[in-house]
Amino acid sequence: MSVQIPPTERLRTDTIQINMGPHHPSTHGVFRMVLTLDGETVVDLEPRFGYLHRGIEKTAEERTYVQNVPFTDRLDYICGITNNWAYALALEKLAGIEVPERAEYIRVILGELTRVMNHMLAIGFLWNDLGATTFTPVVYAFRERERILDLIEMAAGSRMMPSYIRAGGVVADLPEEFMPRLQKLVPHLKRFIDEMDTMLTKNEIFRARAVGVGVLKAKDAINAGVSGPVLRASGVPYDIRKVDSYSIYDRFDFEVPVHTAGDVYARYLQRLAEARQSLRIIEQAMRDIPEGPVTSLPYKQLSRLKPPKGEAYGRIESPKGELGFYLVSDGSNKPYRFRIRSTSLLNLTLLREMCIGHKVADVVTILGSIDITLGDVDR
């Protein structure tokens, strides 16, 4: 004898609230998400920040312009060079400082190397989040990162906290052995990107986990201030290197790759394509780099820099997106207001909308594909 269940009486489930983080390996730092789950499906998500808040904006108001350079290293600690660059750019705009030709080329070379390094790490960590428990992609990415960091160390003296790009140029000229090493490294990195491509792109499990997950529509992305590879993977060809053509980016021949799907897979493909374009820029910069001075503002002048009263907003295309600095000067040697327009914080705006309806395991993937650094989120 079988029991008949009337179709109106569906199984009732209760939602459960769990904390993911602050100490969770998939959050790439100290970041908490309060998830409301129905079974394994995400019903609601609330991001909580502030665990790495160091008050850099306040601290910077009490220090001189050159003393603030090391703080910028510690924002997005994966790519210190581009953080220095954004700050230098805003300060140069504020104080009207010219940058010598050779310094611009050095900035472009190191900045694009940083982009390659960041995108390789982002892909590696994405695979780590997907549960590639042998760590293979991330270890490969770290191996190549060390090669790039060696070059940055050669130029700046420090691997991760370079403080190398300052207003008016760069700190010191490149050592003699830099260029030969770079010439060997570029073809090597090209092979490495192809290797990652062959190894990962057509992987069936990866596609099953990444295609159609965490879709971000172009209109929503623009409205939410999302920038960088995440925006371009949603089909918006907006690259500040092309739009503002700051520094000397108008001299180089490169494309802005765009993917239209806006899902985790598109963001992965986007980073691979962008890393290839970066190497293209480095090759051209290596070929064209002129001799000459590397700074227009020696340290003694820089340390006494007093920009005229005023304010300026300077932004660059950092590997993660738009990184901007808003500086207000009252004519003294310290900034009156020092505002950091954080890339990672803005890219997290739509995390909730991207995650709702997906499984818990996908939340980890989506967060990994946005590629945040908590030092940049909390400042």
The site for other proteins (CB under 8 A) is made up of 49-50, 53, 55, 57-58, 62, 93-94, 220, 222-227, 236, 238, 243, 310-313, 315, 322, 324, 326, 328, 336-337, 339, 341, 345-346, 348-350, 378-379
Beta strand pairing call for 32-38 and 310-318: unpaired
Nearest-5° Cα angle at 86, 246 to 184: 80
* CB contact at 8 A, 79 and 112: no
* 40 vs 255 by CB, closer to other proteins: 255
Handedness of CA 125, 126, 130, 134 (dihedral sign): negative
Is there a cis peptide before residue 180, judged by omega within 30 degrees of 0? no
> Helices (DSSP H) in the chain: which residue ranges?
56-60, 69-73, 80-95, 101-130, 136-156, 178-200, 204-210, 218-223, 229-232, 240-243, 264-288, 299-303, 343-347, 351-355, 360-370, 374-378
**CB 141 → other proteins: shortest distance, Å?**
29
* 128 vs 247 by CB, closer to other proteins: 247
Nearest-5° Cα angle at 317, 276 to 190: 15
**CB 177 → other proteins: shortest distance, Å?**
40
Q: How far is CA 164 from the centre of its chain?
A: 18
* 304 vs 337 by CB, closer to other proteins: 337
Tokens for 56, please give them. Answer: 């850099």
* 47 vs 124 by CB, closer to other proteins: 47
* 312 vs 364 by CB, closer to other proteins: 312
Looking up tokens 């598109």, which residue turns up?
266
* 183 vs 245 by CB, closer to other proteins: 245
**CB 277 → other proteins: shortest distance, Å?**
20
